[in-house]
Amino acid sequence: MQKENLKKSADIISIFCTAAFSLNVILAFVMSIWGLSKDYTLYMLSMTAVSVISILGVSLICAKFSGGMKACIRKYEKKTGLLDNFLLVVFGFSGCMTVNFILNLIATFLPIPVGSEIPTAENTDIYTTMLMQLAVAVAPAICEEIAFRGFVMGSLSDFGDGFAILISSMFFGMMHTGISGILFAFSVGLLLGFIRKISGSLIPSMIVHFLNNAYSVLMIVLLKILDIEMLGIISGTFVFTMLLLFVVMLIIFCNKKSGLLSFSAGECILTKAKKVKIIFTNPVLWVFVVFSVIISTFSMIGTAE
């Protein structure tokens, strides 16, 4: 029975990712045909709508086949206190900065192709900055966390906490384009999944997701305001601080005696090997993987040109 349930969950999640990714590409293509990119306000609002429709909308529909979105979200009911949630947010954001630093460091020795960058306006006033934050930080933080840490993780939670975090992160990574984008999203997905599991709430992971994306927008804005040397000093100091903070957070969590780092397999009797086999022999999953690779390839070619 558990084997069949896992197959069903893998099918539903794979269909969700394929449909959401496809709809995202289609809507982006329609936006380009309509020339929405010529008007920055319309473009940013359209990007926001794309996130809501392709990610949140499709996940709500697919979640109905897994008992509904509320049922998936309620699979994690453990609630942590305000202090623990604050520490989890600090841990998550500093972890995102650490992952980004490590990938950038690797890229200096082994160039990694990247996907498309965040679209920017000529003028980065408060209005355009707020639009960028809405489209790049606010909408994705809400929609993607509900979809992946809510629906996807919730659907897989019966098969073990660690398994749910790992597989949901894999799907989350494949929803992004470019090798660096996939690696970064997968790594961040692990952090967000851990935060979701520990807190029992989507709010801390949403905050971390928002802060991570908002930081990227802030760097773009500062790049137009400050000279390269000054920006390098500020960003370098900030990243170094985040690296130290991440190490401190790891020490704090490792010293916790409340079981924060424990991962339960629940009532699942399937072995790890069996669960992995079920996931990776799923034909619907490979349809999504092939589609994701194709889109990433075209994205990298477009960026190179």
Cβ-based neighbour number of residue 27 at 10 Å = 17
pLDDT band at 265 (very low <50, low <70, confident <90, very high): low
pLDDT, mean of residues 155-182: 92
CB–CB of 185/173 below 8 Å? yes
What share of the chain has pLDDT > 70, as a percent? Answer: 90
What is the structure's pLDDT at 110? 72
What is the structure's pLDDT at 305? 52
Please say if the pLDDT value at position 67 is more than 70: yes
pLDDT band at 147 (very low <50, low <70, confident <90, very high): very high
Cβ-based neighbour number of residue 231 at 10 Å = 15
For 110-124, write each residue's pLDDT tens digit. Answer: 766 554 556 666 677
- Distance (Å, whole) CA 240 – CA 238: 5
What is the structure's pLDDT at 36? 76
What is the structure's pLDDT at 101? 93
Count of domains forming the chain: 1
Q: What is the DSSP letter of 38?
A: G
pLDDT, mean of residues 243-259: 80
pLDDT band at 255 (very low <50, low <70, confident <90, very high): confident
Please say if the pLDDT value at position 130 is more than 80: yes
Domain that holds residue 223: 2-304
- Range in 5-9, 254-258, 292-296 with the lowest mean pLDDT: 254-258
What is the structure's pLDDT at 115? 47
pLDDT band at 303 (very low <50, low <70, confident <90, very high): low
The owner of tokens 């809510």 is 150
DSSP string spanning 145-192? IIIIIIIIHHHHGGG-HHHHHHHHHHHHHHTS-SHHHHHHHHHHHHHH
**Mean pLDDT score across all residues of the chain:** 88
pLDDT band at 300 (very low <50, low <70, confident <90, very high): low
pTM, to two decimals: 0.93
What is the structure's pLDDT at 41? 87
Q: What is the DSSP letter of 262?
A: -
DSSP string spanning 67-114? T-HHHHHTT------HHHHHHHHHHHHHHHHHHHHHHHHHHHHS----
Please say if the pLDDT value at position 304 is more than 60: no
pLDDT, mean of residues 184-200: 95
What is the structure's pLDDT at 223? 84
What is the structure's pLDDT at 302? 56
pLDDT band at 291 (very low <50, low <70, confident <90, very high): confident
